[in-house]
Amino acid sequence: MERSFKNHLKSSFAVSIAITIFAISLFSCDSSSSKQENVNVKADHAFPAADADNGGLTLPENFGAIAVTDSIGRARHIAINNQGDIFVKMRTLADEKGVLYLKDSSGNGKLDLISGFGDFGGTGIAIYKDFLYCSSDSAVYRYKMENGIVKPNTLPDTIVTGFIVQRTHASKPIAFDGNGNMYVTIGAPSNACQESPRTPGSKGHDPCSQLDFQAGIWQFKAEKFNQTLKDDGHRYATGIRNAVAIDWNFKDNALYALQHGRDQLSHLFPEYYTQEQSAELPAEEFLKIADGDDFGWPYCYYDQFQEKKILAPEYGGDGQKIERCEGITPPILAFPGHWAPNDLLFYTGDQFPEKYKNGAFIAFHGSWNRAPFPQQGYFVAFVPFKDGKPEKEWERFAEGFTQVDSVMSTNDAKFRPVGLAEGPDGSLFISDSAKGKIWRVIYYGNKLALKD
């Protein structure tokens, strides 16, 4: 069965690694030699050896990684076809191309830049049926695919236009269900809908008119041409400040997303919040979304310590009051503030151990606004699901992206995870927005491969 959507495919070319044996074998290997061994992890899969250092990543036991490409530019979300080729949506144009097509043309586990197309930057990308869907900050397009590729000079179909041009939270991530619908995030163009943006003490607009066509998730027909936001879009959920991480969970047939919470509580309202509180609040919310849900922005935010929605100070809150936030849909799980969840992937493959099946991987892009304290995030988390619900005991699955012990500014981080995709054999791919590095993560059990 063909899987569309951003990363619901099962991966094709893969990697294996050896950390323990590698360390031992260095003493017996000729340092001048270089080879790539293949190891059969399952009868039907042969994985090339992982990078000796896992491409700089720290992973759970028996997992390894290979850096399949090092520096293609400001990469965002990624999609993988049935052959294991990768399409990368670029935030800004790379050699005047907004989508890059990468393929392992030599069979060594590394990807080569084959081609590029599209004259628009952006974030969203996904494969749906025989089409590659890509978004700019103001529209969604699709390209016809033949045998998994987009042929040169293919012109795109226009699916949706009319998104409001905005400088803040402008990206348009996309996801698809199994009933012909496409979901598009439209972020809020502000922090908290203040009358005077990011000004201490400024009240919030009430009502906040940004909710009319922003700060939510809209539903469109996946295969209908020339739709517009105002004429064809259905506001599926509202009160979401910005959900860059969005995915359809086919296990329970529902839409999920993670919200970027609002900023600067102590700066804007120091009488109610300390710097320590502002660094942790509000929570980054993991949302299960049903048609018509309201998650409360800008009037409410989620306090993970009090475990409830709290009235925002712009609307009369003091860090304790609930008032109009009573009954607002809560998250299914809450993470510390400002970690910036930028992609979500429900794992459907069979390569990883059973506990990962149908669980959620989350790419945290990392904070910028926890000063004077160190910034946090910059890793990929895994949240196991049981009976359709997330377990509270989640794990840090992939770390080491920053390459430094402490991050005080986003510029300190060498890499920042942003996109996730699942390949045809169940390998997990992670993209980086700083330099455009992409990793392939493989599980190989106790069958370790060596790369001298």
Number of residues written out for the chain = 452
> Can you give the residue ranges of every domain in the chain?
20-443
Question: 7 pLDDT exceeds 60?
Answer: no
Handedness of CA 35, 52, 67, 174 (dihedral sign): positive
Q: Which of 79, 78, 53, 84 is nearest to 67 (CA)?
A: 53
3-state secondary structure 104-165: CCCCCCCCEEEEEECCCCCCCEEEECCEEEEECCCCEEEEECECCECCCCCCCEEEEECCCC
What pairs with residue 89 in β-bridges? 99
The rounded Cα 217 to chain-centroid distance in angstroms is 16
Q: How many CB atoms lie within 10 A of CB 109?
A: 23
pLDDT digits (tens, 9 = 90+) for 343-377: 999 999 999 999 999 999 999 999 999 999 999 99
Q: What is the DSSP letter of 287?
A: E
Domain 20-443, CATH class in plain words: mainly beta
Sign of the C-alpha dihedral computed for residues 349, 355, 359 and 364 taken in this order? negative
Contact yes or no for 299/324 (Cβ under 8 A):
yes
> Residue 100: which pLDDT band, with cuts at 50, 70 and 90?
very high
> HSE (CB half, 13 Å, CA atoms) of 224?
14
Least confident of 45-59, 271-285, 426-440: 45-59
Q: Is the pLDDT of residue 450 over 70?
A: no
Nearest alpha carbon to residue 217 among 190, 232, 237: 237
∠ Cα 29 34 37 (to 5°): 90
Predicted TM-score (pTM) of the model is: 0.89
Residue-by-residue DSSP string for 25-52? HTTTS-TT---B-EEEEETTEEEEBPPT
